[in-house]
Homo-oligomer: A and B are copies of this chain.
Amino acid sequence: MSDPQAFPVAIDIPVAWGEQDLFGHVNNVVYFRYFESVRMHFLERIGVLRSHAGHGIGVILASTACDFKKPVVWPQRLHVATGASRIGNTSFVLDYRITDEQEAVVATGSSVQVMYDYRRAEKVRVPEEVRAAIVALQGATFNTP
């Protein structure tokens, strides 16, 4: 992969046979599980899982989307990568890219996470330490608006 800064967090996931559906390839729903799996590692890296567990400041998923580029068939090992593409006032955007063992892009996607105070049950501004952690992870070329 040529752009470590854009997608700084990645995991490898072996496709499970049972993730294939009647049409003979990995079912569309499963890609969102893959996105979620790498998202949780990203959230861990920027301290949001700790902050959620510790004092109730976490994220809520507002939306997510996937473009399916190429069917995936078992057996296969996927490389699932993510990175932030934008930080807003109360939310940030993650982009995703899934590649197969042949380095073909099989899917891309994105998700919007809203910072949420679970104790007060309301949206909050993205904390400075979260912004800083994202910028540190993405590298100097990342522009935070």
Copies held by the complex = 4
**1/0 contact string of A40-54 vs chain B (CB within 8 Å):** 110000000000000
* Interface residues of A, count at CB 8 A: 35
Q: Counting CB contacts under 8 A, is A145 at the interface?
A: no
Given A63-B66, A67-B62, A33 and B24 contact (CB-CB distance below 8 Å): no
In the assembled complex, A5 has its CB within 8 A of some CB on chain B? no
Closest B residue by C-beta to A107 = B63
Q: Which residue on B lies nearest to A62, using beta carbons? A: B68
Mark A1-34 against chain B: 1 for CB-CB distance below 8 A, else 0: 0000000000111101110111110011110110
- CA A40 to CA B16, docked complex, whole Å: 9
* Candidate in A28, A36, A60, A67 with the most chain B CB atoms within 10 angstroms: A28
What 12 additional pairs, Cβ within 8 angstroms, besides A11-B14, A16-B36, A21-B21? A14-B37, A17-B36, A18-B29, A18-B33, A22-B22, A28-B32, A28-B64, A29-B32, A29-B33, A60-B71, A63-B66, A64-B65
